């Protein structure tokens, strides 16, 4: 066209050619997360849209994935793949929806299940959790401003008068099968993992105590950057299906987010997770990697160094690995002192020891939040 067809993210969307399926007037940028399923990497969007398929070898865009014409909805930021069944589990939401749409893509690449889970009003959940038998969906008190919506605008706010609610639904369940659990108000961007123990579904997540817009830095872009800062702690929820009771407690008090783990065991008990340490800077920057031992509670940390910022760091298992620390942690690091970028590789069993390999790059890799690792056995 010779010109930009869409306005920028902070500009008025009124002149855009069309909106996404939820009528927001914003382009589906498929820029949030990446997940591997059935030979393709899927790029997702936090406001729910088409998952865009990418060739994992060439990185060529293959186009919007509709799962052989069976896909009945949009996909949120963080769908989950159960590698034991090769199922892809997802939900979507919207500014005018008083329900979550929850679905499953089967191993054959078609949608095999769809359910509507009732909500008291429009919500903005970001992540979900799975176990072999259950899925955990969230109704958190970050809500749509209905007055703004009626005026044709999109505004969210944190309603501290509401509790956090978690829907535990059987994997192939419907709305009537949901067991709801209540907890203290919060917001959750990212789940570490979930698993079953007896009558309990247990979920570890990074819990944000106050997701309100907060400007605490003097900076020309402080108002915008305030949305890009997090104060999150590793936290555990225990949902007892026998009693209906929630038990919740922190696992650590440091500011960490963007967790990763061995994707082969998602939905079953893990031991190790690897999260990003958040720097005390005006915007969201990662200054190190933290390994958490879910069995002992022990933490170990590697910091990138002054003026060095990393990226989300996925776990890459060694060939023939024995457990979820038998592998590598891989991160892009930008060095503002040297003006160069590099890839650092850490041994997952000894993160604190620092890189076992550094691959110098001729330039920065633009800062990003999410990443995924695709194994050779998956491609085979």
Where is the binding site, in residues? 78, 126, 190, 370
3-state secondary structure 237-294: EEEECCCCCEEEEECCCCCEEEEECCHHHCCCCCCEEEEEEECCCCCCCEEEEEEEEC
Task: Summarize the annotated binding site for Fe cation as residue ranges.
Answer: 78, 126, 190, 370
Q: What is the dihedral of CA 366, 43, 32, 169, to 10 degrees?
A: -150
What gap in Å lies between CA 120 and CA 218, rounded to an integer?
38
Q: Phi then psi for 339, rounded to 5 degrees?
A: 70, 30
């Amino acid at each position: 066209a010779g010109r930009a067809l869409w306005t920028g993210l902070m500009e008025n969307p009124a002149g855009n050619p069309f909106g996404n399926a939820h009528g927001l007037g914003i382009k589906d940028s498929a820029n949030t997360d990446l997940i591997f399923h059935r030979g393709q990497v899927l790029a997702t969007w936090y406001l729910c849209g088409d998952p865009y398929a990418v060739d994992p070898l060439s990185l060529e865009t293959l186009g919007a994935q509709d799962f052989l014409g069976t896909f009945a909805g949009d996909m949120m930021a963080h769908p989950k793949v159960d590698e034991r069944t090769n199922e892809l589990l997802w939900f979507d939401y919207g500014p005018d929806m008083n329900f979550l749409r929850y679905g499953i893509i089967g191993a054959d690449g078609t949608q095999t299940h769809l359910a509507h889970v009732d909500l008291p009003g429009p919500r903005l959940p970001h992540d979900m959790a799975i176990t072999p038998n259950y899925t955990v969906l969230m109704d958190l008190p970050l809500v749509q401003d209905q007055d703004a919506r009626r005026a044709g605008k999109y505004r969210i706010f944190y309603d501290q008068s509401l509790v956090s609610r978690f829907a535990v639904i059987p994997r192939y369940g419907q709305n009537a099968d949901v067991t709801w659990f209540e907890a203290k108000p919060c917001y959750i961007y990212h789940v570490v993992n979930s698993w079953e123990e007896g009558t309990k579904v247990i979920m570890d997540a990074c819990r944000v105590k106050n997701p309100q817009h907060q400007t605490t830095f003097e900076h020309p872009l402080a108002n915008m950057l305030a949305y890009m800062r997090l104060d999150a702690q590793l936290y555990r929820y225990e949902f007892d299906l026998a009693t209906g009771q929630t038990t919740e407690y922190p696992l650590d008090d440091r500011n960490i987010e963007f967790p990763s783990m061995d994707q082969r065991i998602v939905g079953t008990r893990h031991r190790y997770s690897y999260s990003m340490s958040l720097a005390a800077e005006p915007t969201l920057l990662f200054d190190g990697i933290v390994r958490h031992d879910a069995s002992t509670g022990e933490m170990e940390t590697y910091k990138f160094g002054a003026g060095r910022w990393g990226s989300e760091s996925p776990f890459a298992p060694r060939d023939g690995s024995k457990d979820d620390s038998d592998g590598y942690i891989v991160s892009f690091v930008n060095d503002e002192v040297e003006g160069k970028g590099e890839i650092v590789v850490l041994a997952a069993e000894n993160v604190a020891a620092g890189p076992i390999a550094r691959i110098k790059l001729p330039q920065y890799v633009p800062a990003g939040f999410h990443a995924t690792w695709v194994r050779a056995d998956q491609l085979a």
